[in-house]
Amino acid sequence: SQQGEEDPQALSIQEGENATMNCSYKTSINNLQWYRQNPGRGLVHLILIRSNEREKHSGRLRVTLDTSKKSSSLLITASRAADTASYFCAPLEAAGNKLTFGGGTRVLVKP
């Protein structure tokens, strides 16, 4: 079963706007990783946030983690057309080493 579940499934915004997507998971985790994927391509690692961290930034990306609610969010600020992609959250279970992905959020940034 897939543990990371993203919401919304799809998001359409204008260039320059912010995009926010959420992730929920079910079990205890060591960390949670966010990835971007363009159609037909591999996954590009964006950010890893550990279970003892609450917020992390990388360029225009901001990730939060709330372990009490078992949820995370990814914010992309000042979006660009090149940000058009699918975004996946992937919790790393505390009991193992595998990532469990949801179906992703498909983001369309219109120029």
Partner 1 sequence: DTGVSQNPRHKITKRGQNVTFRCDPISEHNRLYWYRQTLGQGPEFLTYFQNEAQLEKSRLLSDRFSAERPKGSFSTLEIQRTEQGDSAMYLCASSSSGRGAFTDTQYFGPGTRLTVL
How near is the Cβ of 86 to partner 1 at its closest, in Å? Answer: 9
Nearer to partner 1 by Cβ, of 4 and 72: the residue is 4
Between strands 10-14 and 105-110, the pairing is: parallel
Figure out which of the listed residues 40, 59, 69, 82 binds partner 1, where binding follows CB under 8 A: 40
Cα(103)–Cα(5) distance, integer angstroms:
7
Answer whether 74's CB lies under 8 Å from 34's CB. Answer: yes
> In angstroms, rounded to a whole number, what is the distance separating the alpha carbons of residues 49 and 63?
8
Please report whether residue 108 would count as binding partner 1 according to CB under 8 A. no
Nearest to 33 by CA among 52, 47, 51, 19: 47
Kindly state whether residue 38 participates in binding partner 1, applying the rule CB under 8 A. no
* CB-based burial label for 34 (10 Å; 0-12, 13-18, 19+): buried
Q: Does 104 bind partner 1 (CB under 8 A)?
A: yes
Q: 17 or 93, CB closer to partner 1? A: 93
Q: Which of residues 57-86 bind partner 1 (CB under 8 A)?
A: none
Catalog residues that contact partner 1 under the rule CB under 8 A: 2, 4, 30-31, 33, 35, 40-45, 48, 88, 90, 92, 96-104
